[in-house]
Amino acid sequence: MRITFIYPDFFQFPDGSFLPEGRIYLGIGYLSAVLKKAGHDVSLIHLVAPPGRDELIQAVKSQNPDLIGFSSTTHMFRHTARVASWTAELKIPSICGGVHPTIAPIEALQTRGIDMVCIGEGEEALLELCDAIEAGKDYSRIDNIWVKRGDSIIRNRVRPLIEDLDQIPFPDRQIFDRRLLCPDQIPRGTVMASRGCPFNCTYCSNHAQKSVYPNPERYVRFRSPENVIAEIEELIRSDPDIKFIRFDDDILTLDVRWLENLSNLYKKRISMPFICNSRVNFINEKTAELLADMGCLVVCMGIESGNEWLRSKVLNRHMSNRQIVRAFKLCKEYGMKTVSTNMVGLPYETTEMVLDTIKINAECRPDTIQVSTFIPYPGTELHSLCEREGLLVNERVDSIFEGRSPLKKVDNSWENRAARMHFHTLAYTFSHLYPKKPAALGKITVGAIEAALTNKKIPQSVRRKFFESFIKRNAGKHEPEWIKY
Ligand code: B12
Ligand code: SF4
């Protein structure tokens, strides 16, 4: 049988303009590999721009599928829903999988044009579904799949997590048309060596995803180093344009023993620069040395908030400011660049707390600072908190970089907005001003800027004038080149 995946892969801004992402997405790659191995026919409509209705319908008709497969994150869902409402008229069975239907299955199923959702990992469920459709069998009782039947929903159980990731075939990257990839994606070989994360940060969808499985204790799984290396070898052999590897794992350094084994094989058989994610409490002398020795170029780590109360009590991230600064410094000492990811617009966040995040970034001196506006994801603890506190508005925004907070009651004072809007300029300028030995001038300037944003005893007009002239003088001045990670 033939399945056509439809994958929206762009950001759209309120004025209608858009940014293509144009990436290979491993989720579809894995599913395609499993289906092709079983003899099914697979195609992909990779939407790197908002599609027109007629053109989309035409594209689907030309594929003549027996099943349409949407894949969606929460951000993408409004595009998925629009496209599904168009394809509904074709009367082809459809299923939606990915993070969003996993954590918000009812919302996904209430969408016109989505007949089924896949909860959690899709390799086994989708294969069973395709086999059943091909054999003309009833497909309403497949584990992980919820089926819309009139006004009711058939809720099948979720099967246990796949324990041995090595048994899954390598992802099918050929299904992605190279002409649709963004140029910066061509030299990048994206790989995932693991699945899952053991932490329960309240804003992250990991704990919500984990909770759907009957064996959540097995959520964190690593492939064998040999299996990972074999995939990378094949990838490099088949695509000479690959110039670096991007490990998309949540925390590549979680298991030191495993990393050591990977490192030994990587150095012998791959020896290609790479970029990875880690967590500050999993960067120490040992892991930093292993990464550097393997040829790691960039380590991306979340700071999220520089305020210890907000970080531990609201975000459930238990690490000290000292630990954070130490991890960034260690990476530098081992010759690796760093990227920090941060959030603003969090519940309870004051201007002082935004400044704490700016200041810790200035101390950590990451080569790239990424800051995004907090958006609550369904199924997460922070979403429930926002619900309880009456903060939710019924709005979905595409990108966390738009700067628009979808929360009510977020501090929208001039001071808070100024700190959020000029986060980069402030963090990079402060880091320039924070000398190795605290020199008085740097400290005084940082203190004056803090006062401009927080000291309500000084008239706002005076503070504002001072702040704006500071920003004017420093905007873009100390910003290093942005690392594409
Ligand atoms: C690569 C990546 C991206 C890619 C896009 C990939 C994608 N479509 O998910 C890019 C760089 C564009 C991206 C951007 C963003 N990302 Co991102 N990203 C990831 C990352 C690191 C890996 C995704 C992946 O390949 N997973 C591996 C595959 C095997 O797992 P999977 O995606 O869950 O797929 C399985 C199942 O879901 C299912 N399935 C998937 N599709 C389908 C379809 C069908 C028909 C079926 C039956 C089953 C099925 O089967 C798959 C195989 O088992 C994840 C974190 C993670 N560890 O997964 C975050 C993650 C997906 N990203 C996240 C976020 C927050 C973002 C951004 C908001 C950040 C930003 N920069 O603004 C944006 C939003 C972009 C957007 N438009 O959605 C969140 C999403 C939360 C949510 N509720 O949607 C995640 C989950 C991180 C997290 N833990 O919170 N991201
Ligand atoms: S450590 Fe990172 S990936 Fe893991 S739960 Fe926290 S935010 Fe999510």
pLDDT tens-place string over residues 422-459 = 999 999 999 988 765 556 778 889 999 999 999 999 99
Contacts 24+ apart (CB under 8 A), 254-257: 254/194, 254/197, 254/198, 254/220, 254/222, 254/279, 254/282, 255/222, 256/286, 256/287, 256/290
Q: What is the pLDDT of residue 327?
A: 98
pLDDT band of residue 127 (cuts 50, 70, 90) is very high
Contacts 24+ apart (CB under 8 A), 432-439: 432/478, 433/362, 434/362, 434/363
Judge whether 2 and 45 are in contact, CB under 8 Å. Answer: no
Say which residue the tokens 């054999």 belong to. Answer: 135
Q: Is the CB of 23 under 6 A from ligand 1?
A: yes
Q: Distances in Å between the alpha carbon of 430 and those of 182, 335, 416?
A: 34, 22, 17
Indicate which atom in ligand 1 lies nearest the CA of residue 30: 52
What phi and psi values does residue 104 have, to the nearest 5 degrees?
-140, 60
User: Quick one: which H or E segment has residue 222?
Assistant: strand 221-222
Helix 460-474 and helix 414-421, axial crossing angle in degrees, nearest 10 = 10
- C-alpha of 58 from chain center: 31
Q: Is the CB of 415 under 6 A from ligand 1?
A: no
What phi and psi values does residue 48 have, to the nearest 5 degrees?
-100, 5
What is the whole-number distance in angstroms between the Cα of residue 100 and the centre of ligand 1?
9
* Cα–Cα distance, 353 to 400 (Å, whole number): 19
Average pLDDT on 367-389 reads 95
Q: What is the pLDDT of residue 395?
A: 66
Which residue type is seen at 100?
H
Pocket of ligand 2 (CB under 6 A): 197, 199, 201, 204, 206, 250, 279, 302
Is residue 411 over pLDDT 90? no
Which tokens belong to 229? 């290396």
Is residue 479 over pLDDT 80? yes
Q: What is the pLDDT of residue 398?
A: 62
Q: Is the CB of 76 under 6 A from ligand 1?
A: yes
pLDDT tens-place string over residues 278-335 = 999 999 999 999 999 999 999 999 999 999 999 999 999 999 999 999 999 999 999 9
Give the residue among 316, 319, 370 at the shortest CA–CA distance from 483: 370
Indicate which atom in ligand 1 lies nearest the CA of residue 21: 12
Q: For each of the domains in the chain, give its residue range(s) and CATH number, in order of start.
A: 2-155 (3.40.50.280), 187-474 (3.80.30.20)
Q: What is the pLDDT of residue 405?
A: 77
Is residue 414 over pLDDT 70? yes
Q: What is the pLDDT of residue 439?
A: 66
Residue 14 DSSP SS3:
coil
Is residue 344 over pLDDT 90? yes
- In this structure, the strands spanning 10-12 and 18-20 are antiparallel
* Cα–Cα distance, 255 to 3 (Å, whole number): 37
What is the whole-number distance in angstroms between the Cα of residue 203 and the centre of ligand 2?
9
* Cα–Cα distance, 377 to 384 (Å, whole number): 9
Q: What is the pLDDT of residue 436?
A: 58
Give the residue among 217, 302, 207 at the shortest CA–CA distance from 251: 302
pLDDT tens-place string over residues 6-53 = 999 999 888 889 999 999 999 999 999 999 999 999 999 999 999 999
Choose which residue among 9, 13, 34, 73 to substitute to test ligand 1 binding: the one with the highest number of ligand atoms within 8 A of its C-beta: 73
Residue 5 DSSP SS3:
strand
Which tokens belong to 306? 């520089």
What phi and psi values does residue 152 have, to the nearest 5 degrees?
-110, 170
Cα angle: 103, vertex 248, 201; to 5 degrees: 45
Those residues whose C-beta lies under 8 Å from the C-beta of residue 430, and which sit 6 or more positions away, are 358, 359, 361, 362, 446, 449
Judge whether 148 and 109 are in contact, CB under 8 Å. Answer: yes
- In this structure, the strands spanning 188-191 and 244-247 are parallel
Contacts 24+ apart (CB under 8 A), 223-230: 223/165, 223/166, 223/193, 223/194, 224/166, 225/193, 225/258, 225/261, 225/262, 225/264, 225/265, 225/266, 226/265, 227/165, 227/166, 228/191, 228/193, 228/262, 229/262, 229/265, 229/266, 229/269, 229/270, 230/170
Q: What is the pLDDT of residue 167?
A: 98
Q: What is the pLDDT of residue 434?
A: 78
Q: What is the pTM of this model?
A: 0.96
Protein residue with its CA nearest to atom 19 in ligand 1: 248
Q: Is the CB of 252 under 6 A from ligand 1?
A: no
pLDDT tens-place string over residues 242-264 = 999 999 999 999 999 999 999 99
Say which residue the tokens 């995040």 belong to. Answer: 357
What is the whole-number distance in angstroms between the Cα of residue 300 and the centre of ligand 2?
12
pLDDT tens-place string over residues 58-100 = 999 999 999 999 999 999 999 999 999 999 999 999 999 999 9
Q: What is the pLDDT of residue 402?
A: 61
pLDDT tens-place string over residues 379-406 = 999 999 999 999 987 666 665 666 667 7
| 184-223 burial: b if 16+ Cβ within 10 Å, else e | ebeebbbbbbbbbbebebbbbbbbbbbebbeeeeebbebb
* Cα–Cα distance, 282 to 286 (Å, whole number): 10
Judge whether 156 and 4 are in contact, CB under 8 Å. Answer: no
Indicate which atom in ligand 2 lies nearest the CA of residue 205: 8
Indicate which atom in ligand 2 lies nearest the CA of residue 198: 4
pLDDT tens-place string over residues 164-202 = 999 999 999 999 999 999 999 999 999 999 999 999 999
> Looking at the DSSP assignment, which residues form a beta bridge with residue 146?
117, 155
Protein residue with its CA nearest to atom 1 in ligand 2: 199
Indicate which atom in ligand 1 lies nearest the CA of residue 125: 47
Protein residue with its CA nearest to atom 55 in ligand 1: 250
Q: Exposed, middle or buried, 163 (CB in 10 Å: 0-12/13-18/19+)?
A: exposed
Protein residue with its CA nearest to atom 8 in ligand 2: 204
Average pLDDT on 95-118 reads 98
Give the residue among 97, 121, 112 at the shortest CA–CA distance from 7: 97
What phi and psi values does residue 11 have, to the nearest 5 degrees?
-105, 140
Protein residue with its CA nearest to atom 85 in ligand 1: 205
Task: Give the number of whichever ligand sits closest to the CA of residue 118.
Answer: 1
What is the whole-number distance in angstroms between the Cα of residue 349 and the centre of ligand 2?
20
Protein residue with its CA nearest to atom 20 in ligand 1: 248
Average pLDDT on 336-348 reads 97
